[in-house]
Amino acid sequence: MWVSMIGAFARTVHAEQYRLSTFSADVTIPLGHRCMGLLRTKSQKIVDPLRVYGFVLHSSDKPIVLAAFDWCEIRNGAYDALRDAFAKAAGTERQRVIVTALHQHDAPVVDREAQLLLDSVGLSNELHNTAFLDDTIERVSQAVRDSLDHSQPISHIGYGMAKVEKVASSRRVREADGRITHNRGSSGGGNKHYAAAPDGDIDPFVRTIAFYNGNQPVLAIHSYATHPMSYYGRGGVTWDFVGIARERLRREQRDIEHIYLSGCSGDVTAGKYNDGSPDNRQILADRLYTGMKKSFDSIKPQPLTQIDFRSIPFHLEYNQKPEYKRAILTEQLENKNLDIIKRIAAAMSLSSLNRVEQKHPIDMACIDFGHGKVVLFPGETFVGYQLMAQQLLPDNFVFSIGFGESWPGYIPMKRDYADGFNGHSWSWVSEKATDQLPAALKKALGIK
């Protein structure tokens, strides 16, 4: 029967009614495309193709869609457009579509309203190529539609986890002078102090949920919390070390679909274990692959008896600092003498400010399998929120995905604001988010 709550959609059905289809498509940006929204060096060569992998989960209720892109971020109108298109293709509704980016930096940021603002001042295709985005939406939607003809029954589900050795570390470090900073970035291991500092607060485990047709595994989804970069900004488009690990597993187990998802990774990088040298990319990939395979191999399937779905609309307050005021941002956008990177950043900020003022909610989605719960977080949520979700339901298997609707940028914890994490330009929310996000999380997890 329906579970009644504002913004929530839920139903439990019998196992024989479950079916699953998978889809994938190439989503590689063209050469000459900007990466990470603000990188100065545009794409010069394709080191790895960018992919989207996803599934459509069918039951007696409307389908649930998940799509994971090898992109940096998907924001605002672009996020809506993808979800609406996939919902139409699968015969469902926007709230039941989970879209996420893995957050590789040598990959695009897409934001329709921001690009329209840039168009208005003569900066066409500077954030993202409009025709490329439109074509991608059409092609991936077709892949979703095509997958529906190849669904298969799902009877069992299983949960696994394994520790990933020497990959993730916290940005948060104590400097030699005693100050707390968040300066250990993805290649922080080149700094001896950062390499010697402890891992810090991370979630060291990769988690896996697998779906079975009888004894045959059909799909495995994996989530691990770290920024997915070894090095970037040199013009090479790449799925980076997380993509290398994923594709190795897919090659070795061709009869199983494997999808990798980034967890809540805003303040987690490979920095302690990575100095940015090219050779480290494969080393990090091998370590992640080992963890993913161990996690998958640890699974013991059990009958799938429940699928509920909740989608909780909520709001995050926009950054209240003076530099995020409309007048200042508009002046920056329209100033032809200003650095183009600052003008792009202003367009992104205005796009999000417009979104907030128009009261567009963020949807926090949860696929509830009973013991296992898949929950989607917005933006660069810090890993503390992922750990919070696990602490809220200590007897359950909570599988966290980051980088959903990504306009908020960094979403720190209260402790991080106390440490002074309030001056970063990639955070569009106020400190009130530290209360607003947990409140939505509890509802999404079904906690009364």
pLDDT digits (tens, 9 = 90+) for 395-439: 999 999 999 999 999 999 999 999 988 767 899 999 999 999 999
Residue 349 lies in a domain: no
Residue 353 lies in a domain: no
Residue 333 lies in a domain: no
Residue 154 lies in a domain: yes
pLDDT on residue 424: 78
Listed in sequence order, the residues at least 6 apart from 65 whose beta carbon sits closer than 8 Å to its beta carbon are: 54, 55, 56, 57, 86, 87, 90, 92, 96, 97, 98, 144
Residue 335 lies in a domain: no
Residue 327 lies in a domain: no
Give 2's pLDDT tier (boundaries 50, 70, 90).
very low
- The helix (H) or strand (E) run that includes residue 170 is strand 169-170
How far is it, in rounded angstroms, from Cα 382 to Cα 78?
A: 23
Give 13's pLDDT tier (boundaries 50, 70, 90).
very low
How far is it, in rounded angstroms, from Cα 278 to Cα 284?
A: 11
Q: Between β-strands 216-224 and 257-262, what pairing exists: parallel, antiparallel or unpaired? A: parallel
Residue 331 lies in a domain: no
pLDDT on residue 423: 67
Task: Give the tokens for residue 334.
Answer: 């329209």
Q: Which structural domain, as residue segments, surrounds residue 59?
A: 15-314+358-444
How far is it, in rounded angstroms, from Cα 162 to Cα 287?
A: 11
Long-range Cβ contacts of 321-327 (<8 Å, 24+ apart): 324/349, 324/353, 324/428, 326/350, 326/353
Whether 154 has a pLDDT exceeding 70, the answer reads yes
> CA–CA distance from 14 to each of 56, 154, 260 (Å)?
17, 11, 28
State how many domains the chain has. 1
The average confidence (pLDDT) of the chain is 96
Residue 73 lies in a domain: yes
